[in-house]
């Protein structure tokens, strides 16, 4: 691996160590302006975003000034504690996600409807299949619906996944109304007594107003047929997209109330700050991490393991 690759692969904590902020003499005497500026840079490069970066730097400055941080362990604990507060403040209060052991007992409404959203190329369809796999591994029955009636091959891609998984599939005619497909899929899932309906939507730029209205129409149609549906609106974003992730969360969130974020390609990035940036700025929890291309490469986001990796 090149020296540059080694540097990019280091954890946030290893980069903080490079700033000499873990040196006891630095912490006792006080952190100088240059070190603060460098810490801000490290956090921004790790995709923490401006708000979360300033928050963490301000917390460290204040603690160091009051003599609350005098050792490496205290510094690590300070950063871990503040990051945990940010993430837990955005944690969902509602029932556990599909595929979790508690899901069946906690949610009586059937079908449980998940709307999968996102821009082109983020891995929405693969994520829909991964969610289906988790649900089916938990003993639930699943219907996969393809509402992208315009992109060539979109329906076929999800149909192949459904066949591979053994899930039911509902699609539409090429060029047809996506909301009509959502209507048919919801009716079919209810008639079949399915536990879960996962609705894959067409990829779109978050700036395309007409396509965002199409999403709202799909959302309304589903809501008329099933109480409280869609029960989850998951936005799939590319972990490697940096600050553009915040733009996507902002714009999709203005169109529909998001219940969670799926960070796809999480295994392809050493920068983990996106989780904190999204939680801090929008209060939307990161629910899932895409860790590969296989149908079981989807992990629920957990604060403890995340902090261990970030500050190891």
Q: In 10 A of CB 25, how many CB atoms?
A: 8
Q: Cα–Cα distance between 252 and 150 in angstroms, integer?
A: 20
- The reply to whether omega before 115 is within 30° of 0 (cis) is no
Q: What is the pLDDT of residues 47-64, one digit of tens each?
A: 999 999 999 999 988 888
Q: What is the pLDDT of residues 78-133, one digit of tens each?
A: 999 999 999 998 876 554 566 555 555 445 678 999 999 999 889 999 999 999 99
Same topology for domains 3-89 and 103-310, yes or no?
no
Q: Cα–Cα distance between 138 and 102 in angstroms, integer?
A: 10
What's this model's pTM, rounded to 2 decimal places? 0.88
Q: Cα–Cα distance between 214 and 17 in angstroms, integer?
A: 49
Torsion, CA 68, CA 69, CA 71, CA 74, rounded to 10? 90
**Mean pLDDT value across the chain:** 86
Lowest mean pLDDT among 106-115, 159-168, 247-256: 106-115
Q: What does the domain layout of the chain look like in residue ranges?
A: 3-89, 103-310
> Tokens representing 108?
């009586």
pLDDT score of 1 more than 50: no
| 187-205 mean pLDDT | 92
| 278-291 mean pLDDT | 92
**Which CATH superfamily does the domain covering 103-310 fall into?**
P-loop containing nucleotide triphosphate hydrolases (3.40.50.300)
Counting residues of the chain whose pLDDT is more than 70, the rounded percentage is: 88
Q: Which residues of 265-301 are buried (b: 16+ CB within 10 A; e: fewer)?
A: bbeebeebbbbbbbbbbeebbbbbbbbeeebebbbeb
| 293-298 mean pLDDT | 92
pLDDT score of 308 more than 80: yes
Indicate the CATH number for domain 3-89: 1.20.120
pLDDT score of 164 more than 60: yes
Q: Cα–Cα distance between 99 and 104 in angstroms, integer?
A: 8
Q: How, if at all, do strands 142-146 and 196-200 pair?
A: parallel
| 206-228 mean pLDDT | 88
Please report where in the chains the tokens 């362990």 appear, as a residue. Answer: 73
Q: Cα–Cα distance between 39 and 133 in angstroms, integer?
A: 41
Model pLDDT, residue 228: 92
């Amino acid at each position: 691996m090149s020296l540059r690759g080694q540097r990019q692969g280091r954890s946030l904590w290893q980069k903080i160590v490079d700033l000499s902020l873990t040196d006891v003499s630095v912490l006792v005497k006080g952190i100088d302006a240059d070190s603060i500026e460098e810490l801000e840079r490290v956090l921004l490069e790790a995709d923490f975003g401006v708000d979360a970066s300033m928050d963490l730097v301000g917390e460290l400055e204040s603690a160091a000034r009051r003599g609350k941080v005098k050792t490496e362990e205290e510094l690590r604990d300070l950063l871990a504690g503040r990051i945990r507060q940010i993430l837990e403040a955005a944690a969902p209060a509602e029932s556990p996600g599909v595929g979790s052991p508690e899901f069946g007992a906690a949610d009586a409404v059937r079908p449980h409807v998940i709307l999968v959203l996102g821009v082109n190329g983020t891995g929405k369809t693969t994520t829909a299949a991964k969610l289906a796999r988790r649900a089916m591994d938990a003993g639930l029955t699943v219907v996969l619906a393809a509402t992208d009636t315009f992109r060539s091959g979109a329906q076929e891609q999800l149909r192949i996944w459904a066949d591979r998984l053994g899930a039911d599939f509902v699609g539409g005619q090429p060029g047809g109304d996506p909301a009509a497909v959502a209507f048919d899929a919801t009716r079919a899932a209810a008639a079949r007594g399915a536990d879960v309906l996962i609705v894959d939507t067409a990829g779109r730029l978050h700036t395309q107003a007409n396509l965002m209205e199409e999403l709202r129409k799909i959302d309304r149609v589903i809501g008329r047929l099933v109480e409280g549906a869609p029960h989850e609106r998951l936005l799939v974003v590319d972990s490697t997209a940096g600050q553009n992730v915040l733009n996507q969360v902002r714009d999709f969130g203005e169109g529909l109330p998001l219940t969670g974020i799926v960070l796809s390609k999480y295994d392809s990035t050493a920068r983990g700050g996106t989780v904190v940036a999204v939680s801090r700025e929008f209060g939307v929890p990161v629910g899932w991490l895409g860790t590969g291309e296989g149908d079981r490469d989807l992990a629920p986001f957990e604060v403890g393991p995340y902090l261990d990796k970030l500050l190891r």
